Amino acid sequence: MSEAHPGYQPPPVAIHPPGHGHTPHHPYLQHHFDNMEQQAEASTLGMWTFLVTEIMFFGGLFMAYLVYRWQSPLGFQEASHHLNIYWGAANTAILIISSLTMALAVRAAQTSQPVRTQIGWLVSTMVLGAAFLGIKAIEYSDKFRDHIVPGPYFQWEGLYPKPAEQFYSLYFAMTGLHALHMVIGLGIMAVITWMASRKTFDSEYYTPVEVAGLYWHFVDIVWIFLFPLLYLIGRHYHAA
Protein backbone atom coordinates (compact mmCIF):
# COMPACT_ATOMS: atom_id res chain seq x y z
CA MET A 1 0.00 0.00 0.00
CA SER A 2 1.89 3.05 -1.16
CA GLU A 3 0.67 6.51 -0.44
CA ALA A 4 1.73 8.80 -3.23
CA HIS A 5 1.42 11.83 -1.03
CA PRO A 6 1.72 11.07 2.61
CA GLY A 7 1.19 13.76 5.12
CA TYR A 8 -1.96 15.79 5.29
CA GLN A 9 -5.15 13.78 5.45
CA PRO A 10 -8.42 15.60 5.78
CA PRO A 11 -10.81 14.71 8.53
CA PRO A 12 -13.58 12.42 7.28
CA VAL A 13 -17.05 13.63 6.47
CA ALA A 14 -19.69 12.25 8.78
CA ILE A 15 -21.19 9.23 7.11
CA HIS A 16 -24.21 8.18 9.06
CA PRO A 17 -25.61 4.70 9.02
CA PRO A 18 -29.14 4.47 7.69
CA GLY A 19 -30.87 5.56 10.88
CA HIS A 20 -34.35 6.28 9.66
CA GLY A 21 -36.35 3.15 10.31
CA HIS A 22 -38.96 3.91 7.69
CA THR A 23 -41.87 2.07 6.20
CA PRO A 24 -40.90 -1.09 4.37
CA HIS A 25 -39.74 -0.64 0.78
CA HIS A 26 -42.40 -0.41 -1.89
CA PRO A 27 -41.92 -3.15 -4.52
CA TYR A 28 -41.50 -0.55 -7.28
CA LEU A 29 -38.91 1.51 -5.42
CA GLN A 30 -35.59 1.39 -7.26
CA HIS A 31 -32.52 0.76 -5.17
CA HIS A 32 -30.86 4.14 -5.64
CA PHE A 33 -33.82 6.18 -4.44
CA ASP A 34 -34.54 6.81 -0.78
CA ASN A 35 -38.30 6.69 -1.04
CA MET A 36 -41.26 6.67 -3.43
CA GLU A 37 -41.66 10.42 -3.31
CA GLN A 38 -38.10 11.06 -4.43
CA GLN A 39 -38.55 8.54 -7.20
CA ALA A 40 -41.79 10.09 -8.41
CA GLU A 41 -40.40 13.60 -8.28
CA ALA A 42 -37.32 12.56 -10.23
CA SER A 43 -39.49 10.91 -12.90
CA THR A 44 -41.82 13.84 -13.40
CA LEU A 45 -38.92 16.29 -13.43
CA GLY A 46 -37.20 14.07 -15.95
CA MET A 47 -40.24 14.07 -18.19
CA TRP A 48 -40.65 17.81 -17.93
CA THR A 49 -37.02 18.29 -18.83
CA PHE A 50 -37.52 16.00 -21.78
CA LEU A 51 -40.55 18.01 -22.84
CA VAL A 52 -38.39 21.13 -22.82
CA THR A 53 -36.12 19.45 -25.33
CA GLU A 54 -39.21 18.54 -27.33
CA ILE A 55 -40.30 22.16 -27.35
CA MET A 56 -36.93 23.15 -28.77
CA PHE A 57 -37.05 20.24 -31.22
CA PHE A 58 -40.34 21.43 -32.70
CA GLY A 59 -39.06 24.97 -32.17
CA GLY A 60 -36.62 24.66 -35.06
CA LEU A 61 -39.51 23.87 -37.40
CA PHE A 62 -41.67 26.65 -36.00
CA MET A 63 -38.72 29.00 -36.56
CA ALA A 64 -38.53 28.00 -40.22
CA TYR A 65 -42.30 28.45 -40.49
CA LEU A 66 -42.09 31.92 -38.95
CA VAL A 67 -39.35 33.09 -41.30
CA TYR A 68 -40.98 31.77 -44.44
CA ARG A 69 -44.45 32.94 -43.52
CA TRP A 70 -42.95 36.36 -42.93
CA GLN A 71 -41.14 36.24 -46.26
CA SER A 72 -44.13 35.19 -48.35
CA PRO A 73 -47.36 35.87 -46.44
CA LEU A 74 -49.51 35.88 -49.56
CA GLY A 75 -48.11 32.62 -50.84
CA PHE A 76 -48.67 30.92 -47.51
CA GLN A 77 -52.24 32.21 -47.31
CA GLU A 78 -52.93 30.95 -50.77
CA ALA A 79 -51.38 27.58 -50.04
CA SER A 80 -53.23 27.10 -46.77
CA HIS A 81 -56.53 27.26 -48.66
CA HIS A 82 -55.88 23.80 -49.95
CA LEU A 83 -55.95 22.26 -46.52
CA ASN A 84 -59.24 20.86 -45.32
CA ILE A 85 -60.24 22.97 -42.36
CA TYR A 86 -62.93 20.49 -41.27
CA TRP A 87 -60.59 17.55 -41.05
CA GLY A 88 -58.24 19.82 -39.15
CA ALA A 89 -60.91 20.96 -36.73
CA ALA A 90 -62.13 17.39 -36.25
CA ASN A 91 -58.63 16.27 -35.45
CA THR A 92 -58.22 19.11 -32.97
CA ALA A 93 -61.39 18.04 -31.20
CA ILE A 94 -60.27 14.40 -31.22
CA LEU A 95 -56.96 15.27 -29.64
CA ILE A 96 -58.61 17.42 -27.01
CA ILE A 97 -60.96 14.58 -26.11
CA SER A 98 -58.01 12.22 -25.94
CA SER A 99 -56.28 14.65 -23.59
CA LEU A 100 -59.34 14.55 -21.38
CA THR A 101 -59.43 10.76 -21.32
CA MET A 102 -55.71 10.75 -20.62
CA ALA A 103 -56.14 13.13 -17.70
CA LEU A 104 -58.94 10.92 -16.39
CA ALA A 105 -56.75 7.84 -16.78
CA VAL A 106 -54.11 9.49 -14.59
CA ARG A 107 -56.82 10.43 -12.11
CA ALA A 108 -58.12 6.89 -12.09
CA ALA A 109 -54.68 5.59 -11.16
CA GLN A 110 -54.17 8.37 -8.66
CA THR A 111 -57.39 7.49 -6.86
CA SER A 112 -56.75 3.73 -6.96
CA GLN A 113 -59.76 3.03 -9.11
CA PRO A 114 -60.30 -0.50 -10.41
CA VAL A 115 -58.06 -1.76 -13.18
CA ARG A 116 -61.07 -1.85 -15.52
CA THR A 117 -61.61 1.90 -15.16
CA GLN A 118 -57.93 2.66 -15.66
CA ILE A 119 -57.75 0.51 -18.76
CA GLY A 120 -60.99 1.98 -20.04
CA TRP A 121 -59.62 5.50 -20.07
CA LEU A 122 -56.26 4.38 -21.47
CA VAL A 123 -57.85 2.43 -24.29
CA SER A 124 -60.15 5.33 -25.19
CA THR A 125 -57.10 7.53 -25.38
CA MET A 126 -55.44 5.11 -27.73
CA VAL A 127 -58.54 4.75 -29.90
CA LEU A 128 -58.77 8.53 -30.23
CA GLY A 129 -55.07 8.76 -31.05
CA ALA A 130 -55.52 6.15 -33.75
CA ALA A 131 -58.51 8.07 -35.09
CA PHE A 132 -56.35 11.16 -35.33
CA LEU A 133 -53.75 9.27 -37.32
CA GLY A 134 -56.48 7.83 -39.56
CA ILE A 135 -57.75 11.29 -40.43
CA LYS A 136 -54.20 12.43 -40.98
CA ALA A 137 -53.74 9.56 -43.41
CA ILE A 138 -56.85 10.63 -45.33
CA GLU A 139 -55.52 14.17 -45.53
CA TYR A 140 -52.12 13.00 -46.70
CA SER A 141 -53.59 10.79 -49.41
CA ASP A 142 -55.65 13.77 -50.62
CA LYS A 143 -52.45 15.75 -50.98
CA PHE A 144 -50.86 12.95 -52.96
CA ARG A 145 -53.94 12.73 -55.16
CA ASP A 146 -53.83 16.50 -55.81
CA HIS A 147 -50.08 16.48 -56.47
CA ILE A 148 -49.33 19.02 -53.83
CA VAL A 149 -46.63 16.96 -52.21
CA PRO A 150 -43.33 18.84 -52.60
CA GLY A 151 -40.82 17.31 -54.93
CA PRO A 152 -40.57 16.63 -58.62
CA TYR A 153 -44.30 15.88 -58.98
CA PHE A 154 -45.51 19.02 -57.29
CA GLN A 155 -48.15 20.81 -59.34
CA TRP A 156 -49.65 24.13 -58.43
CA GLU A 157 -52.37 25.71 -60.51
CA GLY A 158 -52.78 28.96 -58.65
CA LEU A 159 -50.52 31.85 -57.80
CA TYR A 160 -47.25 31.63 -55.86
CA PRO A 161 -46.11 28.12 -56.79
CA LYS A 162 -42.77 28.51 -55.01
CA PRO A 163 -44.06 29.64 -51.62
CA ALA A 164 -46.85 27.08 -51.92
CA GLU A 165 -44.33 24.30 -52.35
CA GLN A 166 -42.47 25.64 -49.38
CA PHE A 167 -45.66 25.77 -47.33
CA TYR A 168 -46.29 22.13 -48.09
CA SER A 169 -42.69 21.26 -47.31
CA LEU A 170 -43.23 22.72 -43.89
CA TYR A 171 -46.70 21.22 -43.62
CA PHE A 172 -45.38 17.72 -44.18
CA ALA A 173 -42.35 18.25 -42.00
CA MET A 174 -44.36 19.63 -39.08
CA THR A 175 -47.39 17.37 -39.23
CA GLY A 176 -45.17 14.41 -40.08
CA LEU A 177 -43.03 14.96 -37.02
CA HIS A 178 -46.17 15.43 -34.96
CA ALA A 179 -47.68 12.23 -36.33
CA LEU A 180 -44.46 10.42 -35.50
CA HIS A 181 -44.84 11.62 -31.94
CA MET A 182 -48.41 10.34 -31.95
CA VAL A 183 -47.22 6.92 -33.08
CA ILE A 184 -44.61 6.86 -30.33
CA GLY A 185 -47.33 8.00 -27.92
CA LEU A 186 -49.53 5.08 -28.94
CA GLY A 187 -46.62 2.74 -28.28
CA ILE A 188 -46.11 4.21 -24.82
CA MET A 189 -49.83 3.93 -24.12
CA ALA A 190 -49.81 0.28 -25.11
CA VAL A 191 -47.08 -0.40 -22.55
CA ILE A 192 -48.88 1.61 -19.89
CA THR A 193 -52.12 -0.26 -20.57
CA TRP A 194 -50.31 -3.55 -20.25
CA MET A 195 -48.81 -2.38 -16.96
CA ALA A 196 -52.24 -1.24 -15.76
CA SER A 197 -53.68 -4.66 -16.60
CA ARG A 198 -51.10 -6.17 -14.26
CA LYS A 199 -52.59 -4.09 -11.41
CA THR A 200 -49.47 -1.95 -11.23
CA PHE A 201 -51.00 1.40 -10.50
CA ASP A 202 -52.62 2.74 -7.41
CA SER A 203 -52.43 5.88 -5.31
CA GLU A 204 -49.04 4.72 -4.03
CA TYR A 205 -47.48 4.26 -7.44
CA TYR A 206 -48.80 5.85 -10.60
CA THR A 207 -45.73 7.67 -11.92
CA PRO A 208 -45.60 5.87 -15.30
CA VAL A 209 -49.19 6.83 -16.12
CA GLU A 210 -48.57 10.39 -15.04
CA VAL A 211 -45.36 10.71 -17.03
CA ALA A 212 -46.93 9.15 -20.12
CA GLY A 213 -49.81 11.59 -19.66
CA LEU A 214 -47.42 14.55 -19.67
CA TYR A 215 -46.04 13.36 -22.98
CA TRP A 216 -49.50 12.85 -24.44
CA HIS A 217 -50.66 16.31 -23.41
CA PHE A 218 -47.53 17.83 -24.89
CA VAL A 219 -48.24 16.25 -28.26
CA ASP A 220 -51.74 17.67 -27.98
CA ILE A 221 -50.31 21.15 -27.33
CA VAL A 222 -48.14 20.95 -30.43
CA TRP A 223 -51.26 20.28 -32.46
CA ILE A 224 -53.09 23.13 -30.74
CA PHE A 225 -50.50 25.42 -32.36
CA LEU A 226 -50.18 23.57 -35.66
CA PHE A 227 -53.90 23.76 -36.36
CA PRO A 228 -54.26 27.55 -36.48
CA LEU A 229 -50.82 28.12 -37.98
CA LEU A 230 -51.29 25.75 -40.88
CA TYR A 231 -55.05 25.64 -41.45
CA LEU A 232 -56.57 28.83 -40.15
CA ILE A 233 -54.33 31.88 -40.49
CA GLY A 234 -55.14 33.49 -43.79
CA ARG A 235 -58.38 31.61 -44.21
CA HIS A 236 -60.34 34.87 -44.23
CA TYR A 237 -58.31 36.10 -47.16
CA HIS A 238 -59.57 35.32 -50.61
CA ALA A 239 -57.27 35.65 -53.53
CA ALA A 240 -58.60 37.34 -56.61
Partner 1 sequence: METTAAPLNYLNNGHGLASWLLTRDHKRIALLYLWSITVFFFLGGFFALMIRLELLTPAADMVQPETYNKLFTMHGVVMVFFFLIPSIPAVLGNFLLPIMIGAKDLAFPRINLLSWYIYILGGMFTLVAAITGGVDTGWTFYAPYSTSASNSHVITAGVGIFITGFSSILTGLNFIVTTHRMRAPGMTWFRLPLFVWAHYATSLIMILGTPVIAITVLLVAVERGLHLGIFDPALGGDPVLFQHLFWFYSHPAVYIMILPAMGVVAELVQAFSRKNIFGYTFVAFSSLAIAIIGFLVWGHHLFVAGQSTYAGLVFSIISFFVAIPSAVKVFNWTATIYKGSVSWDSPMLYAFGFIGLFSIGGLTGLFLATLGMDIHMHDTYFIIAHFHYVMVGGAIFGYLGGMHYWWPKITGRMYPEGWARFAALNIFVGFNLTFFPQFIVGYLGMPRRYAMYAPEFQIYNVLSTAGATILGIGYLIPMDYFTWSLKYAPLAGDNPWGARGLEWEIPSPPPTENFTATPIVTEGTHQYAPSREVGIV
Partner 2 sequence: MFTNFPFFPQQASEQAAQIDALYFFLIAVTGFFAVLIAVLVSVFAVKFHRRHGDEVGVAIHGSLALELLWTIIPLGICMVMFVWGAQVFFHMTRPPKGAMEIYVVGKQWMWKAQHRDGAREINELHVPIGRPVKLVMGSEDVIHSFFIPDFRVKADVIPGRYNTLWFTASKPGKYHIFCTQYCGTKHSAMIGTVTAMDPSDYQVWLSGGAGGGTMAENGAKLFADLSCNTCHLENGQGRGPVLKGLYGKQVLTTGGQIVTMDDAYIRESVLQPQAKVVSGFQPIMPTFQGLVTEEQLLQLIAYIKSLSEPTSSAGTGTPAPDATVKK
Partner 3 sequence: MSGHVAPKSMYYAVFAALILGTALTVAAAFIDMGALNNVVMLAIAVTKAALVVLFFMHVRWGTRLTWVVAASGFFWLLILFGLTMQDYLTRGWVDGTWR
x/- letters, 142..171, toward partner 1 (CB under 8 A): --------xxx---------xx-xx--xx-
Q: Within positions 203 to 222, which residues make up the interface with partner 3, using CB under 8 A?
A: 203-205, 210, 213-214, 217-218, 220-221
Instruction: Say what the alpha-carbon torsion angle 187, 190, 191, 196 is, to the nearest 10 degrees.
Output: 160
Residue 226 and residue 175 in contact, taking contact as beta carbons nearer than 8 Å: yes
Residue 76 and residue 234 in contact, taking contact as beta carbons nearer than 8 Å: yes
CA pair distance 39, 201, nearest whole angstrom: 15
Candidate residues 90, 127, 142, 172; the one interacting with partner 1 per rule CB under 8 A: 172
Quote the least distance from Cβ 88 to partner 2, whole Å. 25
Q: Within positions 106 to 135, which residues make up the interface with partner 3, using CB under 8 A?
A: 107, 110-111
HSE, side-chain direction, 13 A CA sphere, residue 173: 16
Backbone angles phi, psi at 237, to 5 degrees: -85, 135
Residue 215 and residue 187 in contact, taking contact as beta carbons nearer than 8 Å: no
Candidate residues 89, 137, 138, 159; the one interacting with partner 3 per rule CB under 8 A: 89
x/- letters, 132..161, toward partner 2 (CB under 8 A): ---------------------------xx-
Q: Which ranges of 198-230 does DSSP label H, i.e. alpha helix?
A: 207-226
Residue 36 and residue 205 in contact, taking contact as beta carbons nearer than 8 Å: yes
Which residues of the chain form contacts with partner 3 (CB under 8 A)?
Answer: 36-37, 40-41, 44-45, 48-49, 51-52, 55-56, 59-60, 62-63, 66-67, 70-71, 85, 89, 92-93, 96-97, 99-100, 102-104, 107, 110-111, 203-205, 210, 213-214, 217-218, 220-221, 224-225, 227-229, 231-237
